Amino acid sequence: MSTINASVALTRHDSIAVITIDSPPVNALSHGVREGLVQAVAQAGQDSTVRAILIACAGTTFIAGADITEFGKPPKDPRISAVIAAIEDCPKPIIAAMHGTVLGGGLELALGCHYRVAAPATRLGLPEVNLGIIPGAGGTQRLPRVVGVERAIELITTASQLSAKQALEAGLVDALIDGDLVQGALQFARRVVDENKALLRVRDRDEHLVTARGNPALFEKARAAVARKSRGLTAPLAAIDAIEAAVNLPFEQGLQRERELVTAQVSSDQSKALRYFFFAERESAKIPGIQTGDVAKVQQAAVIGAGTMGGGIAMSLANAGVAVTLIDLNPEALERGLGIIRKNYENTARRGGMTESDVSARMALIRPSTKLADVSSAEVIVEAVFENTELKKSVFTEIDRHARADAILGTNTSTLDIDEIASATARPESVIGLHFFSPANVMKLLEVVRTGRTSESVVARAMALGRQMRKVPVLVGTCDGFVGNRILRARSKQAEQIIMQGGFPEQVDRVLQDFGFPMGVFAMGDMAGLDIGWRIRKERGLKSIVADKLCEMGRLGQKAGAGYFRYDPANPEGARAPIVDPIVNELILQASRDQNIERRDMDDVLIRERLLYPMINEAAKILEEGVALRAGDIDVIWIYGYGWPRHRGGPMHYADSIGLAKIRDRLREFERDHGDAFKPAALLERLADEGGTFAGHRTGALQATAAATAVAA
């Protein structure tokens, strides 16, 4: 074995040289790896006794891409494209032996090799658009030459991955290797040598490009489709430009065009936001002072309440292979809940997402019961009964009697005081909020709500359970609405005021959609059902003039065919597409008159600032109170739970990118015009004065006890 450098080694197996990259965690193409590869390829290439070269990786994966931590720093030679050129131009056959996740620059490097073999579980893709860039080391030029132009457009613009089998079928992989990858790849290499196979350079292939050249309209079609789906993202469109260059320009010029496009994308705000978010998401899994890694997987759980949320939570657990006892005291509700679960699984099977035997296996994991005593074997219990403190307390008193001593006692409450619920047990240290989002089997976000008394090990196990269910768990403290809904309320309150002061629902919703949200506030309210908020307002003695009026008129939202908007099954845009209803706009004008509010025109920028800046201000208070650990956690919550556009990095990153002083000053203007509710948070004031950022602010630890923070109602 000869060590090339700290990350790359070169060994010999008869006449085959093996270059091994060992650069944890994911063998990214850092400077050291690039340097080592160039040297190893040169050394093996010059050695007259070497007849073929393998490139393989140690650890869990082949190269997972460029080293993202190097983005935005001055580039250091050799660049990835130079490494790939050295491989492609080597006079001896080079074979990539791949396993794990072959992504981005990793796949581009493999495409520069003359042959590619893979372990059966390998996954391959060019996910660069997820980081706001396009493949920048020849991926847009070589992939279409191998898999065809339309397939390459689809793979690159959607960042989707191929299984090894699909890659084999698409011609991206030459052979699958069962058993020991390197041994199998060595055999493959010997065959290449013995059979004197040609040095296949992807760059020289033209057959797929010729076909596409005869069909230039395919690019316009692809652009239209991507523009519809990607809501303002620029990278997928840039990727199509680059692939079009592959079709119409000689290889070197195509590479040059790709380089220009990637350079522009790397410095874009979208890419900065997406890269920020990549690391924010990973950081949200880490809790200072708590070891969250080494936790045994949950095997048995219980869910109490087989309603909307309980059913979805039971599915999330069963999907993760956990046996679930689903308990509802009402046998009919239990039956109904199970029926819905089965129907959901069968729908997935019908769409090809799972097989009939998967459906049976998942259903077999869910055991129905009408007795709370059946929580006794569960390691985790998730309560999802009606939202009522006394009811939840009685359930917790009961499960305290039956649950294992080490069980996690979780509640899915979205508004109640978890400390109070915990007080109904003799083990408040085991009680934690597990706030799933609806539909719980689909939504990735899980707010893990720690009270002042929840133990560290329960926190660690709850976070691990979130990951086991393939959710994105984020730890938060207790307060009214926790992190996500508390910020949501700040936005809803503004939306209500805006329509009283001059805007209309369609304008407010359009501003949010133009910003990148999948849906506006009012269409979202219609979808959820306006009666939910109506009931809560009545319980809390609150009013919302327009919403209350709509509910009184029976306009409860989509399910009633009318809410803020009208819905028509015959609508060519779709039965769920909102239609502006003049009756509602008239009702709003009347409500303004009744309140003596002088309406004035509001432009889109004003509406955007009125909606988003109070959310940022509320988030600043959340950080200041230590209800969230880091600004990034708030961003993760809003991106995964509420559809904040990823390419804007979440509310905190967005605020940092605008500049906190600018936001503070605008809030002060709103405060002057509309009152105290807009008063900038103390943390925002301080960071704005210091020229600081939310990203640079750390609370260190969550607040120890519940903050008595009523959301400005």
Q: Catalytic amino acids?
A: 108, 128
669: number of Cβ within 10 Å: 12
Select the residue interacting with ligand 3HC from 16, 28, 280, 628 (CB under 6 A). 28
Q: Which residue has the tokens 């219609």?
A: 526
Q: Are 301 and 327 in contact (CB under 8 A)?
A: no
Select the residue interacting with ligand 3HC from 44, 53, 80, 385 (CB under 6 A). 80
Secondary element (H or E) of residue 396: helix 389-402
d(CA 79, CA 75): 7
The entry of ligand NAI, ligand 3HC, none that residue 26 binds, CB within 5 to 8 Å by partner kind:
ligand 3HC
- Does 282 interact with ligand 3HC (rule: CB under 6 A)? yes
CB burial of residue 229 (10 Å; 0-12, 13-18, 19+): exposed
CB of 285 to ligand 3HC, least distance (A): 7
The entry of ligand 3HC, ligand NAI, none that residue 218 binds, CB within 5 to 8 Å by partner kind:
none
Select the residue interacting with ligand 3HC from 44, 137, 375, 487 (CB under 6 A). 137
Select the residue interacting with ligand 3HC from 88, 128, 509, 618 (CB under 6 A). 128
CB nearer to ligand NAI: pick between 266 and 333: 333
The entry of ligand 3HC, ligand NAI, none that residue 101 binds, CB within 5 to 8 Å by partner kind:
ligand 3HC
Residues touching ligand 3HC: how many (CB under 6 A)?
23
Rounded to an integer, what is the distance from CA 467 to the centroid of its chain?
13
CB of 172 to ligand 3HC, least distance (A): 16
Nearest to 438 by CA among 284, 315, 542: 315
The entry of ligand NAI, ligand 3HC, none that residue 186 binds, CB within 5 to 8 Å by partner kind:
none
CB nearer to ligand NAI: pick between 329 and 545: 329
Backbone angles phi, psi at 562, to 5 degrees: -160, 145
CB of 249 to ligand 3HC, least distance (A): 19
Rounded to an integer, what is the distance from CA 137 to the centroid of its chain?
25
CB nearer to ligand NAI: pick between 304 and 511: 304
CB of 409 to ligand NAI, least distance (A): 14
Select the residue interacting with ligand 3HC from 21, 44, 65, 564 (CB under 6 A). 65
- Does 541 interact with ligand 3HC (rule: CB under 6 A)? no
Instruction: Determine the number of helices (DSSP H) and then strands (DSSP E) in the chain.
Output: 29, 18
d(CA 87, CA 55): 10
d(CA 295, CA 645): 32
The entry of ligand 3HC, ligand NAI, none that residue 212 binds, CB within 5 to 8 Å by partner kind:
none
Interstrand relation of 366-369 and 323-327 (parallel, antiparallel or unpaired): parallel
CB nearer to ligand 3HC: pick between 25 and 675: 25
d(CA 562, CA 425): 44
CB of 100 to ligand 3HC, least distance (A): 8
Backbone angles phi, psi at 200, to 5 degrees: -85, 115
Select the residue interacting with ligand 3HC from 64, 495, 627, 687 (CB under 6 A). 64
Binding footprint of ligand NAI on the chain (CB under 6 A): 304-310, 327-330, 333, 384-387, 391, 395, 412-414, 436, 438
CB of 176 to ligand 3HC, least distance (A): 20
The entry of ligand NAI, ligand 3HC, none that residue 156 binds, CB within 5 to 8 Å by partner kind:
none
d(CA 404, CA 374): 11
Specify which residues 630 forms β-bridges with.
698
CB nearer to ligand 3HC: pick between 141 and 507: 141
- Does 254 interact with ligand 3HC (rule: CB under 6 A)? no
Q: For residue 168, give the amino acid letter.
A: L
CB nearer to ligand 3HC: pick between 67 and 625: 67
Interstrand relation of 161-163 and 123-125 (parallel, antiparallel or unpaired): antiparallel
CB of 336 to ligand NAI, least distance (A): 8
CB nearer to ligand 3HC: pick between 66 and 255: 66
d(CA 463, CA 432): 11
Nearest to 326 by CA among 312, 305, 341, 347: 305
d(CA 66, CA 73): 13
Nearest to 261 by CA among 129, 379, 99: 129
- Which residue is at the shortest CB distance from ligand NAI? 307
CB of 71 to ligand NAI, least distance (A): 37
Nearest to 710 by CA among 447, 478, 412, 548: 478
d(CA 328, CA 394): 14
Where along the sequence are the contacts to ligand 3HC (CB under 6 A)? 25-26, 28, 64-69, 80, 101, 103-105, 108, 127-128, 131, 135-137, 139, 282
